[in-house]
Amino acid sequence: MDIQVIAAVFLALAIVFIIGQIWFHLVDGILKAVRRTFTKKQTWYPLPDEETEKIIDKR
């Protein structure tokens, strides 16, 4: 094999790798933005503390 063919194959693989990395980070960023949009940081229902549970259990 000629050195130019080896260099061309290496360059093609490097380009595929770089495009794959860019694509992964782009899709990952979009998914994180969508998750942030549709999920809340707060709990939708606070769990009762232990004292409240003891009072409820005694009833």
Give the residue extent of every domain in the chain. Answer: 3-58
Q: What is the pLDDT of residues 2-55, one digit of tens each?
A: 999 999 999 999 999 999 999 999 999 999 999 988 887 766 667 666 666 666
The answer to whether the beta carbons of residues 21 and 14 sit under 8 Å apart is: no
Please state the separation of Cα 15 from the chain's center in Å: 24
- The amino acid that residue 50 corresponds to is E
Rounded CA Rg of the chain: 27
| Per-residue DSSP letter, 47 | P
What pTM was estimated for this model as a whole?
0.59
